[in-house]
Amino acid sequence: MTILQTIRERRSIHNFKQINIKNEILKEIFTYGSYAPTHHMKEPWNLKIYQDDGKRAFVEAIINSYQRSGMIKNDETPQTQKTIASISQFLLDIPHHALIYFEKEDNLLRYEELYASVCAFIQNAQLAAWEYGVGMLWTITPYMHDPEFVKEIGLDANKMKIAAVMQMGYPADIPKYKERVPIEEKIEFVSELEQQ
């Protein structure tokens, strides 16, 4: 495929085959991600990829966060236990969870530069993954903003910002193409200075 085809044909994947991606392929995918534009070559992105038995503690930390936030009740009722088991199994069935984070910056301009670079890194990785037949789902979820969750996975919430968690695997099915809003509705060409 050409890069233009890949951009057009890539899809967010919600259902994955329960087959692991080889670590060498994951490294290649995220190496392509690292060619994203990055101000002063900061390359601010860092990753933790949870897979195999490493997913268990990660999923447990997610469940703990959901309970702290009230998304899941914090009791021992059969219904709550069933909900926990169902969510846990759903997350464990996803082959890889790539948590992407970067070091916080107090200066707002610098922070936005870093965050923009990390987002470009993520999109590059998604496009590269598609070339390898690998699907991703870019998730931004409440637990990413929970300092206790951040601590449970071994990061310092005062110093590090989680940008996204990418669910990854070989697609079990590929969603159909969805039409985009015509760019004519989003674009404005300004060829002359407007009079004040």
CB 68 within 8 A of CB 148: yes
User: What does the pLDDT look like over 13-58, one tens digit per residue?
Assistant: 999 999 999 999 999 999 999 999 998 899 999 999 999 999 999 9
What is the Cα–Cα distance from 181 to 13, expressed in whole angstroms? Answer: 21
Q: Which residues of 12-47 are buried (b: 16+ CB within 10 A; e: fewer)?
A: ebeebeeeebeeeebeebbebbeebebeeeeebbee
User: What does the pLDDT look like over 81-131, one tens digit per residue?
Assistant: 999 999 999 999 999 999 999 999 999 999 999 999 999 999 999 999 999
Sequence ranges of the domains in the chain:
3-185
Q: Is the predicted pLDDT of residue 194 greater than 90, yes or no?
A: no
Write the single-letter amino acid at 174. Answer: I
What pLDDT does 193 receive?
83
Percent of the chain with pLDDT over 70: 99
Q: Going by DSSP bridges, is the β-strand pair 160-169/96-103 parallel, antiparallel, or unpaired?
A: antiparallel
What pLDDT does 126 receive?
98
| Axis-axis angle for helices 78-92, 54-69 (nearest 10) | 140
> Does the structural domain 3-185 have CATH classification 3.65.10.10?
no
Q: Is the predicted pLDDT of residue 63 greater than 90, yes or no?
A: yes
Fill in the DSSP letter of residue 99: E
What pLDDT does 144 receive?
96
Query: Which tokens go with 160?
Result: 């590090």
